[in-house]
Amino acid sequence: MWARNLLFAGVCLGGAIALAASLSPVHARRAQREAQPAPPSEWQATVDRLNESFRARWQAAGVVPAARATDLAIARRLSLALEGTIPSLAEIRDFEAHDEPDRIAWWLAGLFADRRSSDYLAERLARAYVGTEDGPFLIYRRRRFVSWLADELYANRPYNQLVEQLITESGLWTDKPATNFITVTSKPDEDKGPDPNALAARVSRAFLGVRLDCAECHDHFFREWKQTDFQSLAAFFSQTEQSLRGIRDGAGPIEVEDARTREMKPVACEVPFAKELLATEGTSRERLARWVTHPDNRAFACAAANRAWAILFGRPLVEPIDDIPAEGHVPEALAILADDFVAHGYDLRRLITVIALSEPFQRDSRVDTDASEADAEDATAAAEAAWAVFPLTRLRPEQVVGSLQQAASLETLDYQSHIVIRFARAVGQSEFVKRYGDSGEDEFSPQGGTIPQRLLMMNGELVKDKTKDSLIANASTRVAVLASTDEKAVEIAYLTCLTRRPTEEEEAHFVARLAADDGPPRRQRMEDIYWALINSTEFSWNH
């Protein structure tokens, strides 16, 4: 008995120390404390131009923009967009202890310094580059590809160089991970190597923001693209071969398969627009890569800026994300971002920083109005269309489960967490996403919630496991036991689950439940509060 009591006392003491550290404003965020944001002189002029373009748009549309969101709301948005999870209580305390003027830039610099950010962004980009399927097992390693991509993003490699390598890399898919961009299109069961048509479709959609593959079988009905435009782009990959030595450029004929007749036909290597930018020297893939990433190829920079915007907001600036007018008019804001991206060496971190520090990203998600409910809805819709409010978007499956797992822990779940915790988290996340449903490559298409998703949140094993009474594992029990007052317990619950403090009404409601003399034990009541917050609409939406 004494051993059990000693163990219980040790657990309580450890929990008290952890909680006290989380509540202390001097708690240091491990990765973020070391990161220093770039001085405003580096990006302020571009942010100002971007803001001016939106102010002019709001004025022309007769829209009154929403007020600025709270710093905690902005921090939550950034953590969800770049790490796929909400901030931990420890991170929130660290954030609030920082000086206010440059708090958001400082927070953003810390996210870039955290390996979780590059890993998460790599997975998001990989969906556009190689899709979500496992692909041909013997010649394709998706996990290896994503890991390599994360390393490149962590090193902040210029985006144009990264894309050039994806298009031109040769060698084995194990030693040269970038070649998985090529091998994922192979069909070994049909004794077929890399598919030029599939690669042309990937290049046009992922890197140029153009649905050129809509002209694969016939001329495009609504755009200027001809079938010959698609076939000529595919021809750049017609000599790409796969052998025991990996991917290489052969000397075979330049021909592609006609999507309708399935016959091979000779086609010249040509690009669909900006033909004057195409180099005359080098292999076919090298010529294509230099054309795609050419500083004067506006489509490349616009596509990258539009995708970065979509990752941060949950919606692209131009929809659909892969159907931007290649040589036509684009919104002024997108042109500003694209020009700045090229002028500063295709720096993805700078691009994300400029967007994150802009007024549209930092606006509230609600428009204050005294109008009727119907008129208020119309005003909000008009403001959303003009980016005068932050758009409400559903969290992606991995964001939901990542936030759920983080909300159940008072400590930050990152690479410094114990390996057992990281393994359990990865297993739980994989199973949850599988059951919750994943939109796959088409990740920015508007989709409503489903009944199975709600049932999984309300009755699923992971939610139950992360909110149940468990002094060792879960935040709800530790807060119930160790928080100094009922008010403090409710505040911590709101911070860990919703990244905000409760309103006076919310605090009064839950404090009364905790202080009640009858009913279930206090730890059970705290478990119910956590369950209710995690199952709230607010938890599952970005706002």
pLDDT in tens, 42-76: 889 999 999 999 999 999 999 999 999 999 999 99
pLDDT at residue 79 greater than cutoff 90: yes
Q: What mean pLDDT do residues 511-527 have? A: 85
266 or 428, which is more confident?
266
Indicate if 136 and 1 belong to the same structural domain.
no
Report the pLDDT value the prediction gives residue 494, as an integer from 0 to 100: 97
Q: Tell which residue, 70, 81, 134, has the closest CA to residue 103.
A: 70
- Omega prior to 320 cis, within 30 of 0: yes
Indicate if 271 and 412 belong to the same structural domain.
no
- Tell me which residue range forms the domain holding 249: 116-292
Among 42-51, 233-242, 424-433, 521-530, the least confident range = 424-433
pLDDT at residue 101 greater than cutoff 70: yes
Report the pLDDT value the prediction gives residue 21, as an integer from 0 to 100: 44
Q: Return the top range by mean pLDDT from 57-71, 411-425, 466-480.
A: 57-71
167 found inside a domain: yes
Rounded (to 5) percent helix, strand, coil in the chain? 60, 5, 35
Instruction: Give Cα 58 to chain centroid, integer Å.
Output: 27
483 found inside a domain: yes
Domain count for the chain, please give it. Answer: 2
pLDDT at residue 299 greater than cutoff 90: yes
pLDDT at residue 390 greater than cutoff 70: yes
| 77: exposed, middle or buried (Cβ count in 10 Å: 0-12, 13-18, 19+) | buried
Report the pLDDT value the prediction gives residue 29, as an integer from 0 to 100: 43
Indicate if 19 and 126 belong to the same structural domain.
no
Query: Looking up tokens 């990937």, which residue turns up?
Result: 202
pLDDT range class, residue 455, cuts 50, 70, 90? confident
46 found inside a domain: no
Indicate if 143 and 288 belong to the same structural domain.
yes
366 or 498, which is more confident?
498
Indicate if 137 and 265 belong to the same structural domain.
yes
Report the pLDDT value the prediction gives residue 373, as an integer from 0 to 100: 55
Q: What mean pLDDT do residues 142-163 have? A: 97
Report the pLDDT value the prediction gives residue 415, as an integer from 0 to 100: 77
Q: What mean pLDDT do residues 122-133 have? A: 94
DSSP 54-71: HHHHHHHHT-PPPPBPPH
Indicate if 398 and 538 belong to the same structural domain.
yes
72 or 135, which is more confident?
72
Q: Return the top range by mean pLDDT from 231-240, 262-271, 519-528.
A: 231-240
Residues above pLDDT 90, as percent of the chain? 57
312 found inside a domain: no
Indicate if 273 and 400 belong to the same structural domain.
no
Report the pLDDT value the prediction gives residue 375, as an integer from 0 to 100: 59
Q: Give the pair of three-digit tokens for residue 360.
A: 């549209």
Q: How many CB atoms within 10 Å of residue 520? A: 13
Q: Which of 242, 275, 292 is the last residue of a domain?
A: 292
421 found inside a domain: yes
pLDDT at residue 12 greater than cutoff 70: no
412 found inside a domain: yes
What does the alpha-carbon distance between residue 55 and residue 283 come to, in Å, rounded to a whole number? 47
Residues above pLDDT 70, as percent of the chain? 87
Mean pLDDT across the chain, nearest whole number? 86
Q: Which residues fall within 8 angstroms of residue 239, CB to CB, at 6 or more apart?
A: 249, 250, 251, 252, 254, 283, 284
Q: Which residues fall within 8 angstroms of residue 203, CB to CB, at 6 or more apart?
A: 167, 233, 288, 292
112 or 482, which is more confident?
112
pLDDT at residue 27 greater than cutoff 60: no
Q: Which of 272, 292, 312 is the last residue of a domain?
A: 292
pLDDT at residue 178 greater than cutoff 50: yes
Q: What mean pLDDT do residues 266-282 have? A: 92
Indicate if 403 and 277 belong to the same structural domain.
no
Backbone angles phi, psi at 57, to 5 degrees: -65, -40
Q: Which residues fall within 8 angstroms of residue 7, CB to CB, at 6 or more apart?
A: none
Q: What mean pLDDT do residues 70-88 have? A: 97
257 or 75, which is more confident?
75
Q: What mean pLDDT do residues 228-234 have? A: 87
Q: Which of 292, 309, 343 is the last residue of a domain?
A: 292
28 or 215, which is more confident?
215
325 found inside a domain: no
430 or 204, which is more confident?
204
Report the pLDDT value the prediction gives residue 118, as an integer from 0 to 100: 97
Q: What mean pLDDT do residues 243-261 have? A: 81
Indicate if 23 and 120 belong to the same structural domain.
no
442 found inside a domain: yes
Report the pLDDT value the prediction gives residue 23, as an integer from 0 to 100: 42
Q: Are 215 and 274 in contact (CB under 8 A)?
A: no
Q: Tell which residue, 279, 285, 195, 280, has the closest CA to residue 248.
A: 285
Q: Are 13 and 481 in contact (CB under 8 A)?
A: no
